[in-house]
Every structure is written in structure tokens, then in C-alpha cells.
Chain A
Amino acid sequence: MDPVLFIAGLILSSIVATIIAIFYSLVLPGIERKLQARVQQRIGPPVLTPGWWAVLKFWYKGKAEPIAQMPLFYKSLIWLGIAVVLLLFLFSTPYWWVVLGWGSVLGIAGFLKLEEVLYVLMGSQSQSILTTPMPMNDLVKGAKVKGVLREFVEQHSAERALKMMAVGSLPLYIALLVPFVAARSGMISDVIRAQNPVYFNSSWLSLPLPSNPVILTVPGFLAAVVYFVGYLMLLNEKPFSILKAKVDVIEGGVLEYASKLRAGYYLMRNLLLFALSSIFVTLFIGIPFDPFMPLCFILNMILSLILPIAMAILVAFSPILTFRQIYPATVGLSALGVLALILSVSL
């Protein structure tokens, strides 16, 4: 392809994909919350409220400076997070597959890991008034344990984020490998070629359906289940929301984000929700988000609802698990992921 045409296509596809992703991802939390509410016999909020209106409302709220060790760095983490998630999503769209060779398992895993690191950084920066600086006479009153480090709850959340980064998200990365092993390649384009060969010869108005989706195989299905649980861990959703357990660390590292920054955080979180769902459809069902094939990306968006809907139902029925339960759950899921990986060799 002519390099000029390719760059023009890349820019155009990026703009279209970004706009659609932002608009659509802000609808997902509303669907999620509505479903949860119905499970709980509540009416729930209007579908657009938790995503769209919340972001717009916070965007126009008065400026509130966060209390952090390095406020500028803390604030920039949100915009960095949005950029990371957008790049993660864009590298799963066809025009970006060939850019720097990052349209691969390594590209996806790398961006996801970077996203996880952000929570550690946010947690270690934030210093809300709700804990250590709360004016209380207990230091005057004294205790037998003296001179110990008084830690902010956000810092405790950062430690938890580090543990989740090291252990909790492992199943997701193992599950992510299965479609690539089945395609005998590390590139997303080869995964699509193995599952949906007609996609590459289709016109822009057609709807190329996969002939051999990996999710319909035993290892693919097992990997999809493991991916779903890893998805919950990466999104810090119940039962794996230990880094933002309201009962102790409250919102964790994102506690101090207010007004525009809070809007930015919602945007980041919702984009990640959509990006991970869209990547699931791309890798496990074989339907990529192609901004230049309307039917193809619409189908990708519709199928992207599978994971948020499943998540909403599970979240409604789950308590928050502590590391007493998370560690064994991770070991079990990782074992299941490894089994799927071994089985996928035979595909």
C-alpha cells in the first residue's frame, strides 16, 4: 500500500475508532448499573446517567486540587491512563496491526501491564484527609504501639495493586495467549485469519462472519472463562475489587480525583471496559473492530456487551474477596488457563 494512503487511512481509522469507542463506552456503565439494579429489585439509574451524564457533570464541576505528594504527576496519570487504554484499543483495530508490530499479544499485554502500573502509582501518590491527616486526639492519647509508620489508605491500596499486578491478573494473560497459540502466531492479523479467513477479502459493506471461532472449541471456551475472570480483576470489579474496597481503602488510588480528573477517570475506566470487551470479541470470536467496515464494527460492539452483562450479573451476586480467597482463586484459574493453553496446541 502507498505509505501516504496508509498514513491517511491510519489517521482516519484512529479518529473514527476513538470517537465511536468514547461514545459507546460511556453507555456501557449505564447498562451494567441498570442490570445490577434489576437484580436487586431496584429501578436503577437511567442508562445514560452513570456514563454520559456523570462524565459531563464532573467535567463542568468546580476545580478541586487533589492532595498528593506530586500533584502534577498525580493529575497527569489520568491522561496517561486514557492514552494507554486508547492505544490498547487502537492496536486491536486492523489499520494498527502492522504499526511497529504491536498489533500482537505482546502489544496487548504490554499496554495492559502499563495500565495496571498506573494504579500502583496513583495509590502511592494520593493522600486524602480521610485517614492519617484526620484531626484526632488519638496520638495524644497514646498507644502501646508507638513510632510506627502511619500509612494512608491509598498507599495500602497501592500495595494491593502491586499484588494484583503480580498475581491477580496472571490468569488473563494466560487466557490471552490461547487464541494466538491456536493461530500459531503472535500477531492479531493471524488470529483473525485463522478464525475468519473471509474477512480479508470482504468489501466494506459486507459482514464477514467467522468460520472457526476459537470460543467454540474446548480450549477456547475455557480460556474465555478465564479471560472473563481476569477481566474482572483488571477492571477492579467485585469480587476482585480489593484495591478499592469501600470498607477500608475506599476508592483506593483514585480517591483524590475530583471534577475534570474524576470525569477523566470515568472515561479511562469505561474505555478500558469497552477495549477489553472488544479485544475479547476480536480474539475469541474473530470479529475485529474495523472502523471502515460498519457492519463488522457494529457486530463487534454488540458482542462486546457479553462481558459487561455477565459482569453486571456476577457483581450483583458477589461480595468483595480478600487475598485469602484471591490467591487460591488465581492459582485455580491460572491452572485452568494453562490447561486451555496445552489443549490449544492441538487445534
Chain B
Amino acid sequence: MTERSKDVVVEKELSFGPVHPALIEPFRIRLFVNDEIVEDCELTINIPHRGVERLLEGLPVERALLITERVCGICSNVHAWNSVRVVESGLNIKVPDRANYIRVLINEVQRIASHLIFFGHAFEVLGHETFSMRSFLLREVFMDLMAYIGGNRVMPSVPVIGGIRPRADLTESLKRVILERVDDFEKKYLEFVERVVADPLVMSRLTGVGLMSKDEAIKYHATGPTGRASGWDYDVRRMMYEYKPFDFNVVVLPEGDNKARVVARALEVIESLKIIRQVVKNLPEGPIVNRDWVPGKMDFTTMYFETFRGELMHSYSLDSQGLIRGYKIRTPTPTNLAAMENVCIGDHVTDAVLTIASCDPCMTCCNRVEVIDSGKTRIMSEIEIVRKYGWRR
């Protein structure tokens, strides 16, 4: 329950889910409304708990990739990459430049695919089938590129500890194909974005709805494009050495409404295209993987990563045999969740669901919270856990 509406008298409750045609993942939305106006909102997740962290416990670190890549189907690469970054950082494994370039490439390819699936879902929630279909059609380019590079449309499995898989190395012909496909995509994409922005009906639904101020974004730690669309200039890629060779802008918009969240992602796609071109044109020669390392004891190491929805954290330690101990993953959605509950207050019911979708939630990936309370059995929502313990404990 949010702070803003403690004293508001509400007329009724509308609850959707966890089984509902508009929800692509199972979660529960409780809207407390007066007529059509949302006075408060409660989101409940943890319906499909998969126990990923438990599965990782005791695994040899080389095998962790098999599971971490499967945390999410849309951002599979970021989980795989951040998982190997932890051990590379903890054991001081040097990654060849060529491998880093290709890791960045596949990440940006997947970022564009993710943003386009966001458009597809957001326009579907908006009720605009044509734009939704168009988004999915445009996305096919990047699904194909993932298959060309990694051999798989959904899980390209590019990073390995110390570099990338040999399968994912770029040949000259593949570089040419990537540039051609990216050029062709950019033309069609810009036409599409211009058409969306010029559509008065779509803009009337998006503009001024789901307002989140910069202060709120910081308070609830709304990371990624969701926070940046509220004016919070925060992007982990700036701090990542892997991104240092590339010239790109971090898209920050001050408006903080649904339109800003859509436009921020639309502009990020263009920045990702810039990075992809730089990777292909400036790809250094050299090895693609460093095999010169031995798994061994590693203290708890935490790595942050800018995924497509926000900030991602992977943290674990290794015992003396190189087996994983205490794996923790925090996807961007748990932090964005508290923001989602707040931003839809004051909207119409139909807009509230759109506002939640505009924060690009990925509910299934974030169901890994474990709280052991002292001897007292109590059911807690994740929002309660956030309030009580915070995320960075």
C-alpha cells in the first residue's frame, strides 16, 4: 500500500490476475478505485517461483551459465554475461578485447529486441494492434541476428568465462550482413517511430498519464529507461569498462509520463544501433577467449549491469573447489515494482494497466526473494520486504 493514499476513502476494489488475458506473466493487480480513478494499487508477484538461486547452489561455476541464461527469455544474454563478469572480476580473469566487443554487440542486439517486445506489449495493452504487430515484425531482424551470431534466436549463449564461445566470433561476411540488416532496420524503424509519435489518438493515451517525478524515481530506485524517463540520469553502462570504447548517449527525458517511457526506449534503440555499428567497424583482431584461469576460492563478489529494464545484480562466492555458494540475483523489476504501484495512482483503470506495462515489468524473473523472520510465521509481500529490509542488504 502506498503512502499517498492512506487517508483516501475508496469505493471498491478491482482485482486482475494472476490469470488474465492482458497479463503476459502471472501476477496480481489490486486496484482500489473511485469510479474509474485509481486511488491505490497493490501488485503481488511470486506466483511462479522457480528457485533459480537454489539450483545454482553448489554448481561448478562453469556450469552456472546453463541456468543463469535461463533466468529470462528476453534478457538471457545479460544474465549470462553478468554471471561470468562476477567470476572474472573475483578471480581477475582478463577478457580479450575482441570478446568484449562481441559481448557488447550481442547485448545491444538483444536490447533492441527487448525494447521492440516492450513496444509490442505496450501497444497491445493500448489496444493498438497494428503498431503491436509492426513492432514484432521489426523485432524479427534482431532475432535473426542473434541466431546468426549465437546460433539461437532466444538464448544465443555468447559469453563464457574469459571470453566468448568460438561459435559467436564474427566473420567478415557476418559483419557485412549485420551492417546491411541494421541499415535496413533503421530506415523502417524511424518511419515507424515517426508514425507513432504523430498519432494523435495514441499520444492522447500516453501523454500526461502515469506521472513519476525524478524524486519518486530515485526514492523507489526505478532504474533503467523507467527512471531515465523521469529525469534520473543513471545508467550502469557508464561505469562498465566494456562500454568505454564506445560513443553513445544516455537518453534522459524529464517528463516522467507514459509517453516519456515509450520515447526513451525508442531513442535508446537508436543509440544501440550506433554502438552496433561501432562494434562491427572497430572490431579488434585477436583471441576471443582466455582459458588461462583455474576455478578456486573467491570471496563474495557483486557485479551490477545495465540491462534493458534497469539495473541487474549478480552476486556469489566460490568455495575452494570452485563451487558456487550463496548466489543472489536481483533483476530490475523488484525495484521498479514499488514505482509501478505509485505511478498509476490518479489514472483511469485502463490507463493504470498501461502505466504498469510502460515500466516494462518482467515478473517471473524477479521471484527469488527469501526472508527468514525470527520464529514468527507471517506472509509478506515483496513490497513489504523492500520497505523492511531494502534491496541492497
Contacts and interface: CB of A to CB of B under 8 A. Distances in A.
Interface of A: 36, 39-42, 130-132, 134, 136-138, 140-141, 143-145, 148-151, 153, 156, 159, 238-239, 241-242, 245-248, 250, 316-325
Given A131-B15, A318-B201, A325-B204, A241 B28 contact: no
A130 B17 CA distance: 7
Contacts of B13: 145, 148-151
A317 B380 CA distance: 43
Contacts of A239: 127, 201
A148 B15 contact: no
B11 A246 contact: no
A260 B381 CA distance: 42
Nearest to A159: B35
B348 A318 contact: no
17 contacts: A41-B134, A132-B15, A136-B15, A136-B44, A137-B379, A145-B5, A145-B10, A153-B16, A239-B127, A247-B22, A248-B16, A248-B349, A248-B353, A317-B199, A321-B205, A323-B36, A323-B348
A247 B14 contact: no
A150 B15 contact: yes
B40 A134 contact: no
B1 interface: yes
Given A153-B14, A248-B22, A319 B205 contact: yes
Nearest to A250: B21
B201 A250 contact: no
Contacts of B128: 317-319
Interface residues of B, number: 49
B60 interface: no
Contact of B30 (A40, A143, A320): A143
B14 A156 contact: yes
Residue picked from A134, A145, A245, A319, most chain B C-beta under 10 Å: A319
B38 to A, nearest CB: 11
A110 to B, nearest CB: 29
Contact of B130 (A134, A250, A316): A316
Interface of B: 1, 5-6, 10-22, 28, 30, 32, 35-36, 39-40, 42, 44, 123, 125-130, 133-134, 137, 199, 201-202, 204-205, 348-351, 353-354, 379-381
Contact of A144 (B6, B14, B35, B134): B6
Give the top 10 A-B pairs by smallest Cβ distance, nearest first. Answer: A320-B127, A144-B1, A319-B128, A149-B12, A319-B126, A247-B22, A40-B133, A319-B127, A322-B348, A151-B12
Given A149-B11, A247-B353, A325 B19 contact: no
Contact of A130 (B5, B19, B130, B134): B19
A320 B15 contact: no
B127 A41 contact: no
B190 to A, nearest CB: 18
A140 B19 contact: no
Contact of A138 (B5, B28, B349): B28
Given A131-B16, A138-B15, A151-B13, 13 more contacts: A131-B14, A131-B15, A138-B30, A140-B379, A239-B127, A246-B127, A248-B14, A250-B20, A250-B22, A319-B202, A320-B126, A322-B351, A325-B205
Contacts of A149: 11-13
Nearest to B46: A137
Contacts of A323: 36, 348
Residue picked from A140, A145, A318, A324, most chain B C-beta under 10 Å: A145
Given A130-B20, A136-B44, A325-B205, A40 B351 contact: no
Contacts of B126: 319-320
A317 B196 CA distance: 10
B133 to A, nearest CB: 4
Contacts of A131: 14-16, 20
B201 A321 contact: yes
A156 B38 CA distance: 13
A246 B124 CA distance: 9
A144 B41 CA distance: 11
Nearest to A323: B36
Contacts of B12: 148-151
B379 A242 contact: no
A148 B32 contact: yes
Contacts of A41: 133-134, 137
B76 to A, nearest CB: 27
A346 B126 CA distance: 43
Contacts of A321: 201, 204-205
A246 B21 contact: yes
Given A322-B351, A325-B204, A317 B22 contact: no
A134 B18 contact: yes
Given A247-B354, A248-B22, A141 B201 contact: no
B42 A138 contact: yes
A39 B130 contact: yes
A141 B19 contact: no
Given A145-B10, A322-B205, A134 B30 contact: no
A40 B134 CA distance: 7
A319 B199 CA distance: 10
Nearest to B352: A248
A40 B353 CA distance: 24
A217 to B, nearest CB: 29
Contacts of A248: 14, 16, 22, 349-350, 353
A322 B129 contact: no
B14 A136 contact: no
B201 A247 contact: no
A131 B13 CA distance: 10
Nearest to B353: A247
Given A247-B125, A247-B350, A138 B44 contact: yes
